[in-house]
Amino acid sequence: MTPADRREQLLDAVLRVIATRGVGKVSIDAVAKEAGVTRPVVYKLFDDSNALLRASLVREERRATEQYLAAFPSAAAGRALPELVAELYAGLLLTFERSPDLWRAVFELSDSTTTVFRARLERGRAAAAGRIERMLTEHPDADVEDPSLAARMVFAVIVESGRLLLAEDDRYPRERLIASADRIAALVGGTTPA
């Protein structure tokens, strides 16, 4: 296996450890066991568990950002803003389902007490809410009274919906969450089309 492939294998293992056991359980030993390799294999590429976590954070932040941005609907002419918000909501729920380990880790890290992770995630949250705010303000028919607050509220509902979907999918399946998309649309001043 090439060093680049091994690195990806180990970072995949870090992600699985975070998603299933929590960020506090990431160690050279845990990652080696999860990847099915020995500790010296891990040490060839990473000095310690902090290096593993830093590399994982960089990779997963990039992946999460790419997936998040890909979920945004195109602002096609004639589409109502509430419809676009509902489509974003549904698209992100599908994204969470397609990459559950990544998003479980994102949600886990958002609750982390690690200052560096929390600061980085807060920058990501602000950027994510900012992208929603731009969608709310740049739409030709935009008439949202407080787009900054509405964007933060939509983002908060999306995050909590993602947590529910990934943690309790039997109680909160994607279909049930999407059925309530009109409540999300109401945050931007309308209802979804029938």
Q: Kindly report the pTM of this predicted structure.
A: 0.82
Asked whether residue 50 is domain-assigned, the answer is yes
pLDDT of 151 higher than 50: yes
Structural domain of residue 170, as residue ranges? 71-189
Domain final residue pick, 59, 86, 108: 59
Asked whether residue 93 is domain-assigned, the answer is yes
Span 8-36, average pLDDT: 93
| Cβ contacts of 57 within 8 Å, gap of 6 or more | 109, 117, 120
> How far is residue 173's CA from residue 163's CA, in Å, rounded to a whole number?
11
Q: What is the DSSP letter of 3?
A: H
Who has greater pLDDT, 117 or 86?
86
| Cβ contacts of 56 within 8 Å, gap of 6 or more | 11, 14, 15, 18, 26
> How far is residue 81's CA from residue 188's CA, in Å, rounded to a whole number?
8
> How far is residue 63's CA from residue 79's CA, in Å, rounded to a whole number?
28
If asked whether residues 40 and 88 sit together in one domain, one would say no
- Please report how many Cα atoms fall inside a 13 Å half-sphere around the Cα of residue 131, on the Cβ side: 19
> How far is residue 175's CA from residue 125's CA, in Å, rounded to a whole number?
25
**What distance lies between CA 85 and its chain's CA centroid?**
17
* Tally of structural domains, the chain: 2
If asked whether residues 46 and 112 sit together in one domain, one would say no
| Max Cα-Cα span within the chain | 59
Are 1 and 8 in contact by the 8 Å Cβ rule? The answer is no
Span 10-23, average pLDDT: 91
If asked whether residues 55 and 120 sit together in one domain, one would say no
Read off φ and ψ for residue 188, nearest 5 degrees. -110, 15
If asked whether residues 78 and 147 sit together in one domain, one would say yes
Span 27-56, average pLDDT: 95
Helix H or strand E encompassing 157: helix 147-167
What is the pLDDT, as a whole number, of residue 29?
97
Span 51-68, average pLDDT: 90
What is the pLDDT, as a whole number, of residue 164?
94
Share of the chain above pLDDT 90, in %: 46
What CATH number is associated with residue 103?
1.10.357.10
If asked whether residues 31 and 83 sit together in one domain, one would say no
What is the pLDDT, as a whole number, of residue 77?
60
Share of the chain above pLDDT 70, in %: 91
Who has greater pLDDT, 108 or 53?
53
pLDDT of 190 higher than 60: no
Lowest-pLDDT range of 15-24, 38-47, 185-194 = 185-194
